[in-house]
Every structure is written in structure tokens, then in C-alpha cells.
Amino acid sequence: MITSKQHTITAQEALPDRMEQIIPTEPHAVNGSVLRAETPVNQEQILVGMGCFWGAERLFWQLDGVTSTSVGYSGGFTINPSYSDVCTAQTGHTEVVQVVYDPAKIQLETILTTFWQSHDPTQGMRQGNDVGTQYRSAIYYYNDAQKDAALASKAAYQAALVDAGKSSEITTEVAEAGPYYFAETYHQQYLEKNPRGYCGIGGTGVCLPPWERDK
């Protein structure tokens, strides 16, 4: 059954903007990095949505070469949304992880492999029991190299799913990154602060084979 929270909205239907911006008040709970929207010199960032951001963030802060992570909202219309706003499915945003990484120490392919293999990208506006547009799968890129890698890996994973006998089409949104809004401080590195907290992460069991970026 499709619920109202699984329907996309238009900008005209979105909740009003908020004047106050959410700014994390604590450093990264695992590595002490400063949480900021700007990318440090010689580093890059990419935004990934794969369901509830609590469990997703932990996957990425564990990767060597990832220098910082945070969670927030992107892909929608309302400026400076709160968590309660996003949960109404009336802002257009999805929950995302901001992955900041040193390209000299980790390849984007490693990050994308973690993304594809750690959730089910065929479920549309949901991830498991988490239902709504805020849980949709997404990759928001910042440059052409990231775009090419995202699209090539998406095609490769679709082929891998077919080879594994799974007929569902990938519904992951791949788009240029727009505004990224931090989630409230208590959401940041949630599973480090709450080790027994909810984690809805679960993949398809299909591995992503090696692939070549589009030229």
C-alpha cells in the first residue's frame, strides 16, 4: 500500500522556510573533527541517502580516508528544515550522510561500494520498515567525476542485481548536490552516543562488481 508520505511534493506544496539555521554544537563524536558544510582544502565531499541516517553514518566514519561525517537533509525545498518538518514528508528532503574524504587516501569507488551494498536501492520511497520520501535512496554529487562514478556504479549494480535473479529496478536519485542542512546535534553520530540505538541498515546481499567510470 502506498501511503501519503511516499508521494513527492512540489515546491509550492512545501512547508514554509525557517529563519533559524541548525548548526551542530559539538565536534564529531568519533574523531573530533569540526562539522561544517564547507569542504576542507584537498578534500572532497559527497552526500548519500540510504534510509535512516543513524546507521548509515556509522558505515562511513569507519572507512579509512573518510575524515568527517555528519547527517542532515538535502534534495528538498524548505530552507532550514527541522527533523519534525522532514518527518511530515512536506519538505521534499531525504535524510543524507555528508561524507568528507581525502581522495589521496580513499577512492570514491570504495565509498560508493559501501553505499550500494549496505542498503536496498530498489524500494522507492522507503527503506525496509521506514516509509516515506525522507528514506529514499540518493546520491548528490559535487563534480563531474563524482557524477560519472555514481552513474557508472548504478548501472553496474543494476546489472549485478539482474545477474543475481532480482528483477527490481534501482530507484536511487542521482543528482547535483543542492543545499545541505545539518540535522540537530543529537542526531550526529547517534549510534556512537547510543550504541543500542535503532539501525535499519540492510543490503540486498548482492555485491557490486568492479566497474569503469563513464568517459
* Active site residue ranges: 52
SS3 content of the chain, % helix, strand, coil (to 5): 30, 20, 55
- Which one-letter DSSP state was computed for residue 186? G
Pairing state between β 44-50 and 181-182: unpaired
Rounded CA-CA distance 193/189 in Å is 7
The SS3 of residue 146 is: helix
Q: Is 69 exposed, middle or buried (0-12, 13-18, 19+ CB in 10 A)?
A: buried
Rounded CA-CA distance 190/188 in Å is 5
Report how far Cα 170 is from the mean position of its chain's Cα atoms. Answer: 15
Read off φ and ψ for residue 190, nearest 5 degrees. Answer: -55, -40
74, β-bridge pairs: 94
Question: How many degrees, rounded to 5, is the angle at CA 151 between CA 150 and CA 154?
Answer: 85
| C-beta of residue 78 within 8 angstroms of C-beta of residue 118 | no
